[in-house]
Amino acid sequence: MHKTIIIGTGPAGLTSAIYLARANMEPLVIEGWQPGGQLTTTTEVENFPGFPDGILGSELMDNMRKQAQKFGATFKTGSVKSVDFSKRPYTLEVEGLGQLQAESIIISTGASAKYLGIPGEQENIGRGVSTCATCDGFFFRGKKLIVIGGGDSAMEEASFLTRFATEVRVVNRREELRASKIMQDRARGNEKVAWSLNRTPLEVVAGENGLQGLRVRNNETGAEELLEADGVFVAIGHTPNTGFLGGQIETDAQGYILVKPGTSETNIPGVFACGDVQDTTYRQAITAAGSGCMAALDCERYLEAQAHEAVHA
């Protein structure tokens, strides 16, 4: 039996682990088969406070993990397949570990960026291919970029990237954009934004000296062309990692966990959520870490209240 189990090891989960471990709560952290969250797919992180020269994403996550371990957090590797939140203690079915029980749970499983699944995409993540303009845009100062997508997030990323790039070309499979009119107008009104609509991305093309561009097919003519670019930003959305919850936690239509405003509390007492799994707006390492702190403090107060009730029952 554990006081707290934390599911996930991105900035949110690891910050929760640090706070709970320092409070002598001895949290157990379940890290998946690819621990560290989305930061491990990026190279240098320059916008996390305290690192004026930047830090590798994998190094930042490793440091957070070591910090949590130093104060008494325990880490086990496994994949949570299902949960039972119908009664306390709560039960997790974990591949590789079997059944685990805890008085409280912190869910910090994050959200996975959607990818196109085309050749050259995965091989060049962190080497010209990105899913986060605010994370990586700075590295492309004076370069030509491509943003793939037609929704609000794609328009927002394209507009943001014009701060650094000489040209940002929006590539979308359809002629029409799904983005709201205000976001479309903002992008269309930016002279640095170019458009390649009704184009299907076929391949991210890279050479010895880095990314060369994106090979696309014109859906009207069938002709293929190479759109030259130094970087490709895939902006087709994210998928929150909440499938294992089996509908026991309230989520929005996209699957993001709903929390009580200003807290990390879910609809189940003693179950908390933090990081990108409940954040549809900011999705930054520092906001994830901050929400991880909130979840730890909320969890600690919950356990204290439960202990007080037990004494006076």
**Catalytic residue list contains 135:** yes
Alpha-carbon gap, residue 291 to 276, rounded angstroms:
9
Main-chain phi, psi angles of 128, to 5 degrees: 125, -25
Q: Concatenated DSSP letters for 252-302?
A: -TTSPBP--TTS-B-SSTTEEE-GGGS-SS---HHHHHHHHHHHHHHHHHH
First to last CA, the chain: 21
Catalytic residue among 53, 62, 84, 132: 132
Catalytic residue among 136, 230, 279, 298: 136
**Catalytic residue list contains 293:** no
Quick one: CA torsion of 89, 101, 291, 136, rounded to 10 degrees? -150
Catalytic residue among 135, 230, 274, 279: 135
- What does each C-alpha distance from 6 to 27, 30, 40, 234, 283 come to in angstroms? 7, 6, 19, 30, 19
**Catalytic residue list contains 136:** yes
Alpha-carbon gap, residue 275 to 173, rounded angstroms:
31
- What does each C-alpha distance from 274 to 10, 25, 250, 264, 266 come to in angstroms? 10, 18, 14, 6, 10
Alpha-carbon gap, residue 134 to 145, rounded angstroms:
14
- Annotated catalytic sites, by residue? 132, 135-136
